[in-house]
């Protein structure tokens, strides 16, 4: 359901241009997350498309209903609206499972017992076309005896996609052509939850998302998602990976940078949500210094081609 501050604009899911914001409810959103949400909203609304919010609450250890409520309240406080239905990934396990089974039936799934340390070690010893840190397919090459041995250990495996070292490319609206050899990504985690790269593709497909706008820290996950999309016969949306907000030390904005959430900047700087929106708008070249703006005004001014390509710094 929409929150009271975020009235719906009507039926969604009919347009193939619909956009979305997909936060993980593992903590409060900071100004960087909120600026990405604003951009996703602007891309969708300025094109007359629907805008959906999907709560990516698959990680049972980190997701909290109070964070979800806080995140939605912050979006509404900025004046961003979204269309029904609000979706929670945790309620869509069956869809994720069905996709996994389909890939399994196609012979593309294998169990993997590798620990993080083993993956790191194999990656550092390897050469070839796969990007740094990629999974090198250790468990794909296990002999039957080795596999039986691991099965007997009783340690639950993760399930990986046999990506066949596919090279996948796409045209990002801001970054241009991106091409990458895809590694054998995890589809299902060994704690029995769907992995992000599977769930996000299944849900974007099911919700008929036409345009994915998200932070450019996720750029390198996209070829993986495109491969999964392809294997599941889902339509490929367009993508715009937008620049991030950084802390003063040049790393991605985070809690440790200080007062970075809407509540923090209110407490520390006396900023109302409208002041935070004005800061975001200025950082995107959509407002003058000191100018008050509304989402509707920004929607009029917004031109996707003109958004800055460089990250912005915020000192919390
Ligand atoms: N849930 C992911 C995050 O909060 C975003 C996923 C996406 O936009 O594709 O980082």
Shared-domain flag, residues 253 and 173: no
Residue range(s) defining the domain that contains residue 173 = 106-198
User: pLDDT per residue over 14-72, tens digit each?
Assistant: 446 899 999 999 999 999 999 999 999 999 999 999 999 999 999 999 999 999 999 99
CB 274 within 8 A of CB 287: no
Of the candidates 213, 184, 194, 193, the residue with the CA atom closest to the CA atom of residue 307: 213
Ligand 1 centroid–CA 152 distance in Å is 36
**Single residue among 181, 198, 215 that ends a domain in this structure:** 198
Q: Answer whether residue 222 is part of any domain.
A: no
Ligand 1-lining residues (CB < 6 angstroms): 22-24, 56, 200, 214, 218
Instruction: Give the pLDDT confidence score for residue 16 in this predicted structure.
Output: 66
Q: What is the pTM of this model?
A: 0.93
Residue 202 CA: distances (Å) to CA of 36, 96, 158: 22, 6, 18
CATH number of 32's domain: 3.40.50.620
Ligand 1: which atom is nearest the Cα of residue 200?
A: 9
Instruction: Give the pLDDT confidence score for residue 12 in this predicted structure.
Output: 43
Instruction: Give the pLDDT confidence score for residue 125 in this predicted structure.
Output: 83
Site to substitute for ligand 1 among 18, 19, 21, 23, most atoms within 8 A of C-beta: 23
Of the candidates 60, 56, 55, 62, the residue with the CA atom closest to the CA atom of residue 1: 55
316 pLDDT higher than 80: no
Instruction: Give the pLDDT confidence score for residue 4 in this predicted structure.
Output: 38
Ligand 1: which atom is nearest the Cα of residue 23?
A: 4
Shared-domain flag, residues 307 and 248: yes
Q: Answer whether residue 228 is part of any domain.
A: no
CATH number of 151's domain: 3.90.800.10
User: pLDDT per residue over 112-170, tens digit each?
Assistant: 999 999 998 888 888 888 888 899 999 999 999 999 999 999 999 999 999 999 999 99
2 band by pLDDT with thresholds 50, 70 and 90: very low
Mean pLDDT of 4-14: 42
Give me the number of domains the chain comprises. Answer: 2
81 sits in which H/E element: none
Ligand 1 centroid–CA 315 distance in Å is 23
Q: Answer whether residue 3 is part of any domain.
A: no
Instruction: Give the pLDDT confidence score for residue 128 in this predicted structure.
Output: 82
**Single residue among 178, 198, 218 that ends a domain in this structure:** 198
Shared-domain flag, residues 76 and 110: no
């Amino acid at each position: 359901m929409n929150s009271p501050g975020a009235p719906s604009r009507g039926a969604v899911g009919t347009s193939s241009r619909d956009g979305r914001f997909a936060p993980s409810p593992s903590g409060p959103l900071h100004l960087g997350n909120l600026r990405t949400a604003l951009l996703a909203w602007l891309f969708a609304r300025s094109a007359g498309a629907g805008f959906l919010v999907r709560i990516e609450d698959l990680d049972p250890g980190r997701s909290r209903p109070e964070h979800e409520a806080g995140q939605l309240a912050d979006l509404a406080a900025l004046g961003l609206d979204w269309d029904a239905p609000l979706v929670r990934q945790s309620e869509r396990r069956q869809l994720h499972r069905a996709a996994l089974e389909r890939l399994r039936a196609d012979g593309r799934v294998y169990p993997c017992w590798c620990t993080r340390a083993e993956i790191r070690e194999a990656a550092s010893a390897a050469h070839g076309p796969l990007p740094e840190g990629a999974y090198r397919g250790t468990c794909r090459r296990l002999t039957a005896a080795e596999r039986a041995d691991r099965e007997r250990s009783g340690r639950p495996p993760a399930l990986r996609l046999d990506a066949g070292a596919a090279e996948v490319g796409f045209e990002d609206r801001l970054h241009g052509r991106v091409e990458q050899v895809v590694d054998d990504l995890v589809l299902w985690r060994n704690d029995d939850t769907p992995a992000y790269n599977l769930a996000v593709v299944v849900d974007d497909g099911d919700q008929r998302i036409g345009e994915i706008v998200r932070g450019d820290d996720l750029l390198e996950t996209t070829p993986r998602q495109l491969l999964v999309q392809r294997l599941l016969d889902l339509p490929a949306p367009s993508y715009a990976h937008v620049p991030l907000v950084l802390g003063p030390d040049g790393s991605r904005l985070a809690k440790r940078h200080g007062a970075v959430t809407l509540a923090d900047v209110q407490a520390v700087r006396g900023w109302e949500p409208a002041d935070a929106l004005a800061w975001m708008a200025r950082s995107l070249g959509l407002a003058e210094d000191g100018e008050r703006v509304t989402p509707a005004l920004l929607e009029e001014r917004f031109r996707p081609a003109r958004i800055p390509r460089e990250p912005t710094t915020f000192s919390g």
